[in-house]
Amino acid sequence: MKITRQKHAKKNVNFYKHNFRFREPYQVLLDGTFCQAALKNKIQIKEQLPKYLMGEVQLCTTGCVIKELESLGKELYGAKLIAQRFQVRSCAHFQSAVSGSACLLSMVADDNSHHYFIATQDQELSSAVKKFAGIPLMFIIQNTIVLDKPSPKSLAHVKALQSSQLFPEHQKHNIANLKSEQGIVRVTEHRGRKRKRVAGPNPLSCLKKKKKNPTTTPAPEQTKKKRKRKRNKPLVKPTPETA
Ligand SMILES: [Zn+2]
């Protein structure tokens, strides 16, 4: 189970590395719900996440997430302690805090230029994140951390990119040029071969002449003419005589 789980994780991480330029240390933005789930399931995020993602990880959160956890009181005190150990990334809400989910969404909604992973148990935040391409989503299910498979939005984005990268306009021209160049090269090669083949019959005709020559006398043209005349005469003469 662990091996297949890690294989899936590696495959998914590679997807973001190759297609969205994710690099180590992986920036994982965690919210209060994820911290609470980790606490309940006795998951040591700091130890488990790097192992699962097979790379260096930078755990981070925002001031809004911590403020929200503080506002929720004793029940989420443990989660707040966990979140406080993470690096606090500056958000746009320094004047008036927003909900943790709204804050994390705002951190990634603008093309996710910081290459954040989002770690949350909040379904609304998850579905909102999936509407964007290139945002890896993590959650805890059955006592384990899971990196969600790339969303259809991410897959579609990559497909569109690949198709445009495979045949951009200037490459189309290059390919066309290459083909025509190769075609020309092939045509000239064929022509050369054909010419050589055409040139071939001449020596053959020479050989025929040579065969004829040795049987007859050395003077070629005169003997040929004579022979033809001789052949014609006897062939023509006997037929009328016999008839
Ligand atoms: Zn914020």
17-76 pLDDT per residue, tens: 999 999 999 999 999 999 999 999 999 999 999 999 999 999 999 999 999 999 999 999
Query: What is this structure's pTM?
Result: 0.68
Percent above pLDDT 70 for the chain: 67
Domain coordinates in residue numbering, the chain: 2-151, 167-214
Sheet holding 144-147, edge to edge: 87-89, 57-62, 26-30, 116-119, 137-141, 144-147
Q: If you measure from the C-alpha of residue 118 to the centroid of ligand 1, how many angstroms do you get, rounded to a whole number?
A: 14
Q: If you measure from the C-alpha of residue 89 to the centroid of ligand 1, how many angstroms do you get, rounded to a whole number?
A: 9
Output the six-digit token pair for 144: 């384990």
Cα 20 to Cα 153: distance, rounded to the nearest angstrom: 13
Residues whose CB is under 5 A from ligand 1 (ion)?
62, 64, 91, 93, 103
Q: If you measure from the C-alpha of residue 97 to the centroid of ligand 1, how many angstroms do you get, rounded to a whole number?
A: 6
Q: If you measure from the C-alpha of residue 12 to the centroid of ligand 1, how many angstroms do you get, rounded to a whole number?
A: 28
Give the C-alpha distances (Å, rounded to integers) separating 81 from 66, 70, 124, 204.
Answer: 9, 10, 24, 99
Fold of 2-151: Rossmann fold (3.40.50)
pLDDT in tens, 131-174: 999 999 999 998 999 999 999 999 999 999 888 876 666 666 66
Q: If you measure from the C-alpha of residue 96 to the centroid of ligand 1, how many angstroms do you get, rounded to a whole number?
A: 8
Q: If you measure from the C-alpha of residue 70 to the centroid of ligand 1, how many angstroms do you get, rounded to a whole number?
A: 14
